[in-house]
Each structure stands twice: as C-alpha cells, then as structure tokens.
Structure 1
Amino acid sequence: MSGMLLRVEAWLAGGLLAVIVFLVFIAGIMRWFGQPLVWSVDLAQLLFVWVSFLGADMALRKRAHIGIDYLVRRLPGRPRVILDALLAAVCIAFLGVMAVLGYRLTMLNMERLFGDSGIPYAFVTIAVPAGCVLLALTLLGQAWESLSRLRTEARPIFTGGSSGEIEELVP
C-alpha cells in the first residue's frame, strides 16, 4: 500500500478509537444524570468492530501478530521464504472465504437493525469482508516482497529475533 493510504488507515483507526472512548464516556455521564443514551453503546460496538480489523491490518503490516516460529527460525533462508509464502497463501485463501461469507452475511442483514440505534446491522457485518480484503492485500504484498528478494538474497527479509522484535537481515 502507498504511504498515504497507510497514514489514512492509521488516522482512521485512531479517530474511531477516540470516538469510541468519547461515546462510552458521554454515555456514562448521561446515565449518571438519568438520561441514558441508548444508541451510544450500539454505535461504540459497531465502531469497535471496524477498529479491530483496521488494527489487525496495521499489526500484520508491522509483523506484530503473535507467532510460533521456533522451528521456522532454524530453517535456512530459501526454505523459510518458501514456507512463509505457502503459509501466506493458506491465510489468503482463508481470508478470501471469510470475505465472501462476510459479504453474504452483510446482504442478509440489510433490513435488520442494530440494537436500538436504528443503524442497519449491515454496517457491522460489512467490516468482515472489508477487513479480510485489507488483511489479504497486506499478506499479498509481504509475500510478493519476500519472493522477489528470494532471487537476489539467500535469506528472507524479516525474521523474529530472539527477543521477538523484527530484524532486517542482510545477505
């Protein structure tokens, strides 16, 4: 993804998180005054689904998701890159299935309302295919980058270090 799109994604996730915090705070204050905002909790839950997918994509791009790489780290460079590409292909296939099923779920929920807010439930369920597409695009980009370097380098671009941080390797 381009740098501008990455900044927009990060800004959007941060903005939505701030709105969630504000909504929950205001709902608590208004409830204390005896005037609950019933719709605010529904809207905060809806936004949380979107923030979760945006955050998952941002973490995937930074390779910050938890992983068990004890055996993979012991593989030499080329087999490790090939294994990473195969695992990315499996994940992309899974995300593709989830995107299709999420789209179908969204179409089924066009008329259903989300709680007392009057917001169509489809706004919640559309986060699944949208998030899966974002995650798949990130995985495709990472796999393409790794495979393109496979021709020129003996080792993969990134690997988890013993302390868990990302280290860039050189040939």
Structure 2
Amino acid sequence: MKTLRKTLTTLLNALAGLSLLAMVGLTCWQVFTRYILQNPSSWSEELVSYLFAWASLLGASLITGERGHMNIPVLVERFSPAVQKAIAIFGELIAFAFSGIILGFGGLQITQLAMGQMTSSLGVAVGVFYIVMPICGVLNMIYTILNIADICKGAPAEK
C-alpha cells in the first residue's frame, strides 16, 4: 500500500510541477504577445485557465492523500483515542462518498455532456478538460481507502 501511495503522490507532484511550469510559460507568452507583439494570444489564456483547474483538482487529491483536508482538532482532541479514530474514519468515509458521487459519477456525467461542446479558442472538446473530475474522484477514493487502512493501523498522516 505504501508503494501505491508513493507512486500516486510522485505522479501527482510531477503533474503539479509540470502544470505550474506550463502556466508560467503560457502566461509569459501572453504578456509577450500582448505587449511586445501587440497581438494578444487568446488560446494561451484559455489553456492557462483550464490548467489552473486541473492543478487545483489534482492538488486537492494530493491533500487527500496526506490527510490534510480541513478539520477541527480542538474539538476532536477532547475525545478518547478510540473515538478520535472513529471520527477520522468517518471523515474519510464522507470524503470517499463525496469523491465517488460528486467527482466520480457527476464528473463523468458532465464530461460526457461537454464532449459535444468545443472551446472557443482551442477548438478542443470541453469534456477533455472536464475529465479531470472523474480522474480525481477515483484518485481521492483510492487515497481515502489507503487513509482508512493507515488510521486502523494507527499510522500518522503522510506529510
């Protein structure tokens, strides 16, 4: 399980780094074409916004893998260790359900609907950019299963 977690995290970190580099490069290109060439690049602006959405969702999956999602430790720390473990597992189950229903199922539905719609500047089906939702849904579900296994073993959150 540690190998799977490490592989997924390494892959997501690489994708996050590449998307950041691509966004910086494309933004520099936008500035160059707008102010130096006096002919703004519309496709690069659209691609940067889609890359930002991808980076955000993939980053959320990374946070899920680290069990770094929002919580209120002041409240939870008042309970016994057994209750804390149960609350942590319950939180992971909620994250699993959200990922499966909203990101997985809902993301797949919206992706299929958007495949017939083209982006204005890039000429690519919008669904291609929406596919990140079900992908992240599956990634989050994998991470929550790994997190539940770690919680049951008493392992601390990955950082």
TM-score range, shorter chain: 0.7 to 0.9
Mapping for residues 28-47 of structure 1, pairs under 5 Å: 28-32=31-35, 33-47=37-51
Residue equivalent to 1:88: 92
Shift of 1:62: 2.4
Q: Is contact 1:46-1:123 (8 Å) kept?
A: no
Residue equivalent to 2:56: 52
Residue equivalent to 1:22: 25
Letter in structure 2 aligned against 1:27: Q
Letter in structure 1 aligned against 2:133: V
Post-superposition Cα deviations, 1:20-51, rounded to whole Å, max 9, x if no partner, equal 11101111110112121110011111111111
Q: Please, what is the CA RMSD of the aligned residues?
A: 1.7
Shift of the 114–100 alpha-carbon distance from structure 1 to 2, 3 Å rule, reads same
Shift of 1:14: 0.4
Q: Which is richer in helix? A: 2
Query: Does residue 158 of structure 2 align to residue 157 of structure 1?
Result: no
Residue equivalent to 2:127: 122
Shift of 1:2: 4.3
Shift of the 92–4 alpha-carbon distance from structure 1 to 2, 3 Å rule, reads closer
Q: Distance in 1 between matches of 2:120 and 2:68?
A: 34
Residue equivalent to 1:111: 116
- TM-score, with length taken from structure 1: 0.82
Percent identical: 24
Residue equivalent to 2:77: 73
Residue equivalent to 1:169: none
Question: 63, 66, 70: which one pairs with 1:62?
Answer: 66
Q: Distance in 2 between matches of 1:55 and 1:95?
A: 14
For 1:158, what is the secondary structure of its paired residue?
coil
Runs of 4+ more than 4 Å apart: none
Shift of the 71–65 alpha-carbon distance from structure 1 to 2, 3 Å rule, reads same
- TM-score, with length taken from structure 2: 0.88
Q: Is contact 2:150-2:156 (8 Å) kept?
A: no
Shift of 1:4: 3.2
- Unmatched tracts of structure 2, length 5 or more: none
Q: Distance in 2 between matches of 1:144 and 1:11?
A: 25
Query: Does residue 142 of structure 2 align to residue 137 of structure 1?
Result: yes
Q: Is contact 1:88-1:139 (8 Å) kept?
A: yes
Residue equivalent to 1:153: none
Mapping for residues 7-18 of structure 1, pairs under 5 Å: 7-18=10-21
Q: Distance in 1 between matches of 2:99 and 2:9?
A: 20
Letter in structure 2 aligned against 1:157: A
Q: Which has the larger radius of gyration?
A: 1
Q: Distance in 1 between matches of 2:120 and 2:88?
A: 42
